[in-house]
Structure 1
Amino acid sequence: MERIAPLRLAEKWDNVGLLLESPVPRLGRNRVLLTIDLTTSVLSEALAKETGVIVAYHPTIFKGLQSLTLSNPLQNSLLRCAAEGISVYSPHTALDSVWGGINDWLAQGLLLKPEDGTVAALLGLKMNSATGESEGAEGRLVTLNEPVDIKELERRIKAHLKLKHLQVGYPSSDEQTTGSLVQKIAICAGSGGSMLLGTAADVYFTGEMSHHEVLGAVAAGKHVVLCGHTNTERGYLPVLAAKLRNELEKDSEVGLAGKVDIEVSRKDEHPLQIV
């Protein structure tokens, strides 16, 4: 995971890495389960599948804890993991920033072909101090070679994220019917208001923004496309699974290749449903 998404790329406010190391690892638990959130349903799935490690994109521990009790549902899950021999790792914003990570995956969905546009860092590059090379950046800015109608962009986003519905803010009320051409799309996985506001782009594409952030964006002439926080992240899990398998193949000298199963959770889902 460190080779896939170096933890030094995470935001300073984030809490990433090995967040729970079980004191009782159990032999034979050779499955790694990938999820966005460690929910009770995902935990039950992990226990049923003899899981040894859960890679939970969102940190299961975010702020300092004064106690760990069974009465708190999230802490209950962590305590059960520890007791059952399951360790928990979180990459979070390191996986957002790294080249080839979640934000790049979102950007790819806007291009019918790679040559249809360019993908660049939205904010400052993150450099490797040892090599002097860039390893990632905050957010992405997609510039299409040719402008497209906002409705076409919405169609591409729905197809890429496998969604039936989006929330879209238009700069003026008549945009919904007449459409408008857009060319630059600013991207931030998850919650992107603080990062995207003020960016020189035609569209802000993220999971969620606050009410006043949306109002400010559309007042500034921007389109806002919101997909639901985890809907901008979950589709990357199969990509992460493939990367992990590839890294394990490289580590054949430690005897893990072919002995560790990587699975994407089937119980992980967005916590809100459209009804």
Structure 2
Amino acid sequence: MLTIDLTTAVVNESIASKASVIVAYHPTIFGALKSFTMANPLQASLLRCAANGISVYCPHTALDCTWGGINDWLAEGIMGGTTTGTVRPLQAEKFSPSGESEGALGRLVSLQTPVTMGVIEKRVKEYLNLSQIQVGYAVNPKDGLRASALVQTIAICAGSGGSVFAGKKADVYFTGEMQHHEVLAAIAAGTNVILCGHTNTERGYLPVLASKLQAQLEAVAFAEPYDIVISDTDEHPLEFV
């Protein structure tokens, strides 16, 4: 079972479908715990998984950083399929002990031909299948009035990108969410901001992950019968009303 979050609904779905493994993108435990209790809904979900023999694996940052991971998938959407340009790491690459590059935090898309913010907004909405996004338009640092220049560089980070973007110059910051003061600072410095909702920048990657897992299991000739399914109940926790 593939999901972004291990919610109660996803656990119920997994138990009903007799899943043996849940790949939940977001970590189910963020801080140290001295005990588990059914009184805490999130801990109860893990206890129910254990009681039903379901393992839970959370790839999170590794799936963000790896080549071909979520941030590269988001970069493909910004490129628009036919647009030419380059994609490179936003932060320093990480290397394995053998010297092989394993990925990096964030991506920076550099379009060969600048486009308007309207074009970028349209691409984001269509790629993530969203009817609405939040946009902060850059202002001229000298007079504080809205800038209308074309954009060419887009910094990308799935989920929450404020800390990843810190100190990085781009025409647009594209992520799920940022803190209020981070948005204000970016706009004042002449950078546009596109926010889509935290998990809305991640959930669309699950079919890609399913395909990659299928290919890897076939490559190692995994002999046990299996099905890779994407949760029907996993969804963004917030709605526009």
TM-score, reference length from structure 1? 0.83
Cα gap change, 1:112 to 1:92, in 2 (>3 Å): same
Q: How does 1:150-229 map to 2 (within 5 A)?
A: 150-172=117-139, 175=146, 179-229=148-198
Structure 2 Cα separation of the partners of residues 39 and 46 of structure 1: 11
Question: 2:166 & 2:194 partners in 1: Cα distance?
Answer: 13
Structure 2 distance, partners of 1:174, 1:62, is 41
Superposition map of 1:1-275 within 5 A = 33-113=1-81, 116-130=84-98, 132-172=99-139, 175=146, 179-252=148-221, 254-256=222-224, 259-275=225-241
Does the 8 Å CA contact 1:103/1:188 hold for their aligned counterparts? yes
Q: 2:237 is aligned with what amino acid?
A: P
The CA deviation at 1:47 is: 1.1
Q: Which runs of 5+ in 1 are unaligned?
A: 1-32
The answer (yes or no) to whether the contact 2:37–2:44 under 8 Å persists in 1 is yes
CA deviation digits over 1:55-101, x for unaligned, max 9? 00001112111111110000111111000111100000000000000
Post-superposition, which runs of at least 4 consecutive aligned residues in structure 1 deviate over 4 A? none
Bigger shift: residues 135-144 or 194-203:
194-203
Pairwise CA distance, 1:174: 6.5
The one-letter amino acid paired with 1:245 is Q
Change in CA separation of 1:67 and 1:269 when aligned onto 2, cut-off 3 Å: same
Q: In structure 2, list runs of 5 or more residues that go unmatched.
A: none
Query: Are residues 156 and 174 of structure 1, via their aligned partners in 2, closer, same or farther at CA, if it must alter by over 3 Å?
Result: farther
Structure 1 Cα separation of the partners of residues 110 and 178 of structure 2: 22
**C-alpha separation between the residues in 1 aligned to 2:9 and 2:85?**
40
Partner SS, residue 81 of structure 1: helix
Q: How far apart are 1:114 and its partner, in Å?
A: 5.8
Contact 2:83 2:111 in 1 (8 A): no
Distance 2:154 2:119 in 1: 13
Q: How far has the Cα of 1:197 moved from its partner?
A: 2.6
Verify the 8 A CA contact 2:21 2:56 in the aligned structure 1.
yes
Alpha-carbon offset, residue 243 of structure 1:
0.4
Question: For each residue in 1:234-269, what CA deviation from the matched residue of structure 2 results, as whole angstroms up to 9, or x when unmatched?
Answer: 0000000000000110121x413xx11001111100
Shift of 1:121: 0.5
Paired residue type of 2:21? V
CA RMSD across the alignment: 1.4
TM-score scaled by structure 2? 0.95
Matched positions, count = 237
Instruction: State the alpha-carbon separation in 2 of the partners of residues 198 and 114 from structure 1.
Output: 30
Q: Report if the CA contact (8 A) 2:173-2:192 is conserved.
A: yes
Matched letter for residue 79 of structure 1: L
